[in-house]
Chains A and B, each alone.
Chain A
Amino acid sequence: MANQEMEQLVRREYKQGFVTDIESDTVLPGLNEDVIRFISAKKEEPQWMLDWRLAAFEQWKEMTEPEWAHVNYPTIDFQAISFYSAPKSSDDRPKSLDEVDPKLLETYEKLGIPLHERAALAGVAMDMVFDSVSVTTTFKKQLGEAGVIFCSISEAIREYPELIKQYLGSVVPVMDNYYAALNAAVFSDGSFVFVPKGVTCPMELSTYFRINAENTGQFERTLIICEEDAQVSYLEGCTAPMRDENQLHAAVVELVALENANIKYSTVQNWYPGDEEGKGGIYNFVTKRGECRGDNSKISWTQVETGSAVTWKYPSCVLKGKNSVGEFYSVAVTNNMQQADTGTKMIHIGEGSRSTIISKGISAGRSDQSYRGLVKILPGAKGARNFTQCDSLLIGDQCGAHTFPYQEISNSTAQVEHEATTSKIGEDQLFYCRQRGISEEDAVNMIVNGFCKDVFKELPMEFAVEAEALLNVSLEGAVG
């Protein structure tokens, strides 16, 4: 395929780039105890929460930034970042869509996803995080009838302190890593889901995270708890306006699955990746971890990662329960100067625990992408089983694709398999499509989508469509 064409397509602009001009209630840049007190007060948090944050901050100060990832970025000046920003109108929360700030609605309109229409059609409840505060929660009533709690984490701290005290930080401890500690100190908002015993959540839950005010790091904290025999599917999707300065994003997601519980967590991430020269773009340093605490419980992560300038993300499963199951399905696309170091960790503790890892990486332009995974089988995990497959597709001769799979196995009855391949799109595959009259662009599209099929089929329907479209825009014709 002609190089020009490739360049043209690779050079597509970020379609979702815009800034909604809403007055933000933003704290001055810098990080100190006062900022944390401010955030906590803003959220009307109880004293114990503030103490928890301050303790995390003390620990964070002692820690150093991790350097082992295969990414390069300028040192982050934490004193130059503003750690809190909320839409002004947060005090009087709207009860329904009609009461929502019309400018906000406009933002969603621009995204091409009219909230009311989509919500009604798809039956999806959305807890929108606009910058840092949940603006509206829909379908709350229906969920309430089923006994499911779905609200912002700030609300949960006020309304359900016992649950928060019991579970917050129990999967990702404050000291877990540098960014997790930072998040614990300054997290602004996020979602909280509690599905009680025996309940199957009546709808798919979804949250739209957006980063809006300039220079503000977004630090979400998500906590999902599924009690015995309960089930939930949670969708998270993100787009962000075009920016010049790097924005730091350090989220923490914790999942807890008790006996026979089943949590499915899907993400489509399309934050601003920076321009062709790598200027701007989001830094995405995320800690996601789920714990299968009960027997026969299951946690499944599915992610489609196309955005961010630098990604550092390893959704993990701790398989404690007998016969518990962990899954990780990932498609990651990097283009231009994007860098991604992503993968998963499967820690097998329980007898008969099983895990599956399918990771598909596509690198184009001058981007660099790494799969970094750990499969650890502890001595007690009798009959544990893991299957890992990570494939990389290279598009263009300036990009890099790397695989760093760690396997630590200490049980003789465990069975662990890992396979990985790296190659470019096959000339013969392209030729085959071409000679049947399919344009080069469509052919590449088909091949890439076929390459990712194993992952896409794990996504909920609406997301699968969105993900496929996203991938097409990202890469169409990027093969020369």
Chain B
Amino acid sequence: MSLAEFTDQWLSAIAPQISEGSGWLTDLRQGAVEQFATLGLPHARLENWKYTDVKALAKRQFSLPNGQADAVTLIKESSLGLDGIRLVFVDGIFSEQASTLNSLPQGVQVLPLAKNANAAKPLLGQVAAANFSGFTALNLAGWQDGVLIDLAANARLEQPVYLQFVATEQENPVLVQPRILIKAGTYAEATVVEHYAGADDAASLTNAVTEVELADGANITHYKLQQESSKQYHIASMHVQQQRDSRFTSHNVCLGGKLARQDIQVELNGEGAEVNLNGLYLGNARQHLDNHTLVNHNAPHTNSHEDYKGILNDRSRGVFNGRAVVHKNAQKIEAHQSNANLLLSDKAEIDTKPELEIYADDVKCSHGSTTGQLDENALFALRSRGLGEEMARGLLTLAFANEVIDRIEIPAVHDRIEDAVAGRLPEKFNLKGLV
């Protein structure tokens, strides 16, 4: 199918979303439709998509979700157990019944997006440029639902906001397009957990966009746990804008999906702004997991730290691209990047590229990336204490992942993720009951 035909097909799939809503929203969506028509789907000739081929998507027929599927068991089983402020989305559509939204402190609004689109007018599409990629344009054109988290100045949320997205098995694969908007006023603080899970045979395409705006001194911690089914495609991009002295922390754990691509773009626009990017990807079977991060140091005295780790087994393929750009006159910068990978099989592959682009001189920037094996000395130490070779390898592999997992501050999320990671390591490691 030609790209033109394909575009037409997708545009007709999202047409209902474009026509609904008020005037400004229709205009916004219409503009994004035009952007998508120009951009099309990303292709391998684009440097940013060199290693990730989404051509397979062009051959698929997608329909739109109705959110009516019965997902009670799925919701229950996949839940991370964060019940205070919990919004559940079935195939991307908000389920009021399954959600709990009690006791929000003053100055905090957590609103399902479809019904409250007008409240999102000042933020929607402001942080995530529609032309970031074809997928971003497509989401802006046809997002179905999502959430707006609006924190007034000095508002503080003790409990995390838990966003649970579940994908059900459908006769025709559906195109799910959530939009998540987080706006933090000066010195506001919150934690948001974005969680994606799918039924075993769910085969949908998730195309999510998250926009985060941090005013002076705001502090946002964002967790993303992606556990979709091995038949799902997961494309997501998160765009963050930070003002003076704000702090943003991202924990990005990517376990599921047939093909998963996560983009994170951070703009450090005010002095003293700091971002921490923490990530883990674990591939099995024929999974393709791609993480692209971009940090723009636009102001002096801004810091970024990035640590991504990957474990790749079977025939899986991992892609990592970390890019830090220090713009002109942005002096006194610290930017550090690290990417470490473990290949557990000879058929697995990792393509990694930590990039630095620097146009200022008073900077301390470094990046490192390694791909290799477990430390033979550590292995020997464990074996000398009577552990079998496979189990010793398993423990060390898990310990490698734990360097990322241990930074997760919510105990419930930490344990769930550790379990999930242990559960996805090769069975021969025999870690059951140990974690």
Contact = CB atoms under 8 A, between A and B. Distances in A.
A and B are partners in one complex rather than unrelated chains: yes
Interface of A: 68, 379, 392, 394-424
A422 B370 contact: no
Chain B interface, DSSP helix/strand/loop, else mixed: strand
A396 B331 CA distance: 11
Interface stretch (B89-97, B186-194, B352-360, B423-431): B352-360
Nearest to B320: A407
A399 B328 CA distance: 9
A423 B365 contact: yes
Given A409-B350, A424-B363, A419 B356 contact: no
Nearest to A370: B357
A407 B366 contact: no
Interface stretch (B166-174, B257-265, B341-349): B341-349
A404 B355 contact: yes
A404 B353 contact: yes
Given A397-B360, A406-B353, A422 B346 contact: no
A419 B343 contact: no
Nearest to B51: A408
A240 B47 CA distance: 36
A410 B358 contact: no
A423 B363 contact: yes
Nearest to A408: B351
A255 to B, nearest CB: 27
B363 A422 contact: yes
User: Which 8 pairs, one residue from A and one from B, show the smallest C-beta to C-beta distance?
Assistant: A412-B343, A394-B361, A415-B372, A410-B349, A419-B368, A422-B365, A416-B371, A421-B366
Contacts of A421: 364-366
Nearest to B317: A410
Contact of B367 (A394, A396, A403): A403
A386 to B, nearest CB: 9
Nearest to A383: B373
B317 to A, nearest CB: 8
B356 A407 contact: no
B370 A423 contact: no
A402 B369 contact: no
Nearest to A70: B357
Given A415-B371, A416-B371, A422-B365, A400 B351 contact: no
Given A397-B362, A416-B370, A403 B345 contact: no
B329 interface: yes
B345 A412 contact: yes
A424 B332 CA distance: 11
A90 B385 CA distance: 78
Given A394-B363, A397-B360, A408 B349 contact: yes
B393 to A, nearest CB: 12
Nearest to B355: A404
A407 B351 contact: yes
A420 B356 contact: yes
Contacts of A68: 47
Given A405-B353, A420-B368, A423-B364, A415 B373 contact: yes
B365 A418 contact: no
B263 to A, nearest CB: 18
B368 A411 contact: no
A399 B360 CA distance: 7
Interface in B88-127: none
Contact of A394 (B328, B349, B358, B370): B358
Given A394-B358, A394-B361, A402-B357, A418 B344 contact: no
Given A405-B354, A406-B351, A412 B362 contact: no
8 contacts: A379-B346, A397-B361, A397-B362, A400-B359, A412-B346, A415-B370, A417-B369, A422-B358
A410 B371 CA distance: 10
Contacts of A399: 359, 361
Contacts of A415: 370-373
B343 A409 contact: yes
Nearest to B365: A422
A406 B354 CA distance: 8
Q: Which of A419, A420, A421, A422 has the most CB of B within 10 A?
A: A422
B372 A417 contact: yes
Nearest to A418: B369
B355 A414 contact: no
Contact of A409 (B349, B359, B362): B349
Contact of B356 (A379, A397, A398, A402): A402
Interface in B9-29: none
A409 B371 contact: yes
A398 to B, nearest CB: 8
Contact of B357 (A394, A400, A405): A400
Given A403-B355, A410-B343, 5 more contacts: A394-B363, A401-B356, A407-B369, A409-B349, A419-B366
Contact of B352 (A397, A398, A407, A411): A407
A374 to B, nearest CB: 9
B371 A414 contact: yes
B295 to A, nearest CB: 14
A435 B145 CA distance: 66
Contact of B358 (A400, A411, A418, A419): A400
Nearest to A379: B346
Contacts of A417: 368-370, 372
A93 B353 CA distance: 52
Contacts of A403: 354-357, 367
Contacts of B357: 400, 402-403
A410 B369 CA distance: 15
A422 B366 contact: yes
Contacts of A416: 369-372
B358 A402 contact: yes
Interface in B314-354: 328-329, 331, 341, 343-354
Nearest to A400: B359
Nearest to B372: A415
B47 A420 contact: no
Nearest to B368: A419
B348 A412 contact: yes
A397 B331 contact: yes
Given A411-B346, A412-B345, A424 B370 contact: no
Contact of B373 (A410, A413, A418): A413
Contacts of A414: 343, 371-372
B379 to A, nearest CB: 14
Contacts of A410: 343, 346-350
A394 B346 CA distance: 40
Interface in B23-76: 47
A426 B34 CA distance: 50
B366 A420 contact: yes
A412 B346 CA distance: 5
A296 to B, nearest CB: 23
Contacts of B363: 394, 422-424
B365 A379 contact: no
Contacts of B368: 417-420
Given A415-B371, A416-B372, A407 B361 contact: no
A403 B366 CA distance: 10
A403 B321 CA distance: 12
A392 to B, nearest CB: 7
A410 B41 CA distance: 27
A250 B8 CA distance: 45
A394 B356 CA distance: 13
A424 B346 CA distance: 41
Contacts of B370: 415-418
A422 B354 CA distance: 13
A67 B147 CA distance: 41
Contacts of B373: 412-413, 415
A411 B341 CA distance: 12
A392 B367 CA distance: 12
